[in-house]
């Protein structure tokens, strides 16, 4: 009887350890993926314009960028600093634009362009400061 009880106790201990290992094995990678994905993608919103920067998009590029602006702006431009050089992508009102880059983006700045007054309308713009990404 004692031998049967010991075998049952051993079996339940092994089963509990196996279930614990399975749970730990499946939970850890999911948390790691969520954390690494969160640090890869950044969202910015400013005065009617939305920007997304993905530093690990999985499409073969090093960085993917997206910009959209609403009807309060006539246009918006996302300026990027890559290895000390400036480049940009832009879009018109209620439209979006995206681009992929072969290198990591270091900093961004968003500028909105709009019309001031009605007769004669004058162009205006405002920009954020440079932001590290």
Average pLDDT score over residue span 49-73: 91
Q: Can you tell me the distance from the alpha carbon of 109 to that of 100, in angstroms, rounded to the nearest whole number?
A: 17
pLDDT score, position 11: 41
In the numeric block, which tokens belong to residue 50?
């939305």
Please indicate whether residue 62 or residue 38 has the higher confidence score (pLDDT).
62
What is residue 57's predicted lDDT score, i.e. its pLDDT?
Answer: 86
pLDDT (average), residues 109-120: 91
What are the pLDDT digits (tens) for 98-112? 999 988 999 999 999
CATH of domain 40-132: 2.60.40
pLDDT over threshold 60, residue 10: no
């Amino acid at each position: 009887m004692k031998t049967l009880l010991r075998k049952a106790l051993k079996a339940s201990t092994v089963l509990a350890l196996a279930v614990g290992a399975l749970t730990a094995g499946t939970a850890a990678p999911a948390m790691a993926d969520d954390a690494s994905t969160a640090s890869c993608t950044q969202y910015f919103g400013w005065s009617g314009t939305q920007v997304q920067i993905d530093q690990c998009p999985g499409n073969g590029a090093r960085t993917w960028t997206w910009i959209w602006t609403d009807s309060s702006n006539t246009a918006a431009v996302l300026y990027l600093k890559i290895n000390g050089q400036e480049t940009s992508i832009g879009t018109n009102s209620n439209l979006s634009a995206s681009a992929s880059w072969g290198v990591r983006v270091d900093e961004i700045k968003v500028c909105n362009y709009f019309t001031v007054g009605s007769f004669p309308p004058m162009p205006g713009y405002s920009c954020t400061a440079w932001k590290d990404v």
